[in-house]
Chain A
Amino acid sequence: MSWTAIAVMTAGAYGFKVFGVFALARIGDRSAATFQSLTALIPAALFAALVAVQTLEAGGALQIDARLAGVAAGALAVLRRMPFVVVVLVAMAVTGAIRWQTLG
């Protein structure tokens, strides 16, 4: 990858972050109550989307594979109020074990 590409991506990534903190956040100064209840819901929307995409997306299409079983096991650990490390390790172990099984 060229250094130019890295420079453009770095500048762009920071640009989006700054735009959010300085410009998008300012809209809230005008219509505080509505804006606050909308932004308070952004993490719920985006984190659910991250979970869905990272679990089911492969090469631009939907695909059910060992990740789904691992993440489901992780979700079960969350329901059982297991510590964060356990959640992550359970998901990795289940996914890794299924791949190991199917690859022989």
Chain B
Amino acid sequence: MPAHRREGLVLAVAVGIVAATFGVLADAAGLSIPQVMVMSALMFTGASQFAAVSVIDAGGTGYTAVGSALLLAARNALYGPVVASLFGRSTAMRAVGSQFVIDETTAMAAMQNEDDIAADAFWWTAIWLWTLWNVGSVGGALLGSVIGDPEAWGLDAAFPAAFVALLAPHLRTRPGRVTAIGGGALAIAAVPIAPAGVPLLVASLAVLPGWLVHRRAL
């Protein structure tokens, strides 16, 4: 198996563990198994799914759950321009590809140097990830009482640690480093004053200082 496909599989296994956490939480929040299945198969954007069931679990309303889920889902739009060229000109391909435009697939594609390998990395990561995300979610929902509290296992550290690894290739250039530091700082500054999801959108503004550094280097 080529390295980029293997890396996609490894990432999907780690994300599958995180999916089990989602299943446990969704079960605790009173969601039925079909509801968990539909969310993971069709909504297919982890942070939003977590936000929605957390709000319900904490006694929040459906409106609040939908609101925070959509704010967190909005960042996937920003990944569109990063990966759109990988889908070619076919409208059907782009419509199908869109469903899989999330943090992880963008990360695996953006890590490759050549376009055809980037497309292959995107699709294989999408296949592995979608499969294991769904298996993990249902598994977590079914075995919720056996697993107990996912945080006791340190599962909430798995996702940020995985993204340190996915961020690393972007830190090799100076514009990348400037953008990453800016994005992290903006997000941290926004957390206490903005609802969930907004800090990530605000962080995207950090591409501007990164771009200025990039231009000065030309």
Tell whether A47 pairs with B103 under 8 Å between CB atoms, given A9-B48, A21-B97, A90-B161: yes
Give residues 98-144 of B contacting A (CB, 8 Å). 98-99, 101-103, 106-107, 110
Residues of B within 8 A of A97 (CB): 154
Per-residue A-contact encoding for B178-206, CB less than 8 Å = 1, 0 else: 01111111111001100110011001111
Per-residue A-contact encoding for B49-86, CB less than 8 Å = 1, 0 else: 00011001000001001100110011111111111110
A23, chain B: closest CB distance, angstroms: 8
Which residue of B87, B156, B210 has the most chain A CB atoms within 10 A of its CB atom? B156
Which residue of B75, B107, B183 has the most chain A CB atoms within 10 A of its CB atom? B183
> In the complex the two chains form, is A44's CB within 8 Å of B98's CB?
no
Q: Bound state CA distance, A25 and B208, in angstroms?
A: 18
B33 lies within 8 A of chain A by Cβ: no
Q: Bound state CA distance, A28 and B187, in angstroms?
A: 26
Per-residue A-contact encoding for B160-186, CB less than 8 Å = 1, 0 else: 111111111011000111011111111
B35 lies within 8 A of chain A by Cβ: yes
Q: How large is the interface on B (under 10, 10 to 19, 20 to 34, 35 or more residues)?
A: 35 or more
Residues of A within 8 A of B206 (CB): 41, 44-45, 48-49
> In the complex the two chains form, is B35's CB within 8 Å of A1's CB?
yes
Residues of B within 8 A of A6 (CB): 35, 38-39, 43
Give residues 18-65 of B contacting A (CB, 8 Å). 29-31, 35, 38-39, 42-45, 47-48, 52-53, 56, 62, 65
B31, chain A: closest CB distance, angstroms: 6
> In the complex the two chains form, is A45's CB within 8 Å of B65's CB?
no
Number of A-B contacts (CB under 8 A): 302
Closest to B183 in A: A45
Residues of B within 8 A of A78 (CB): 164-165, 168
Q: Bound state CA distance, A1 and B31, in angstroms?
A: 6
> In the complex the two chains form, is B76's CB within 8 Å of A24's CB?
no
A78, chain B: closest CB distance, angstroms: 5
Residues of B within 8 A of A18 (CB): 95, 98
Partner of B70, one of A12, A24, A35, A50: A12
20 additional contacts (CB under 8 A) given A49-B184, A52-B183: A6-B35, A12-B69, A18-B95, A19-B80, A24-B80, A25-B80, A34-B211, A40-B110, A41-B176, A43-B107, A44-B183, A45-B183, A48-B167, A53-B199, A54-B163, A71-B161, A88-B165, A92-B158, A95-B154, A96-B154
**Which residues of chain A have a CB within 8 Å of any CB of chain B?**
1-6, 8-10, 12-14, 16-25, 27-28, 34-35, 37-57, 60-62, 66-67, 70-71, 73-75, 78, 83-85, 87-88, 90-97, 99-100, 103
Cβ contacts A to B, 6 pairs, < 8 Å: A20-B80, A21-B84, A39-B82, A46-B204, A48-B184, A95-B157
**Which residues of chain B have a CB within 8 Å of any CB of chain A?**
7, 10-11, 13-14, 17, 29-31, 35, 38-39, 42-45, 47-48, 52-53, 56, 62, 65-66, 69-70, 73-85, 87, 94-95, 97-99, 101-103, 106-107, 110, 151-168, 170-171, 175-177, 179-188, 191-192, 195-196, 199-200, 203-208, 210-211, 214-215
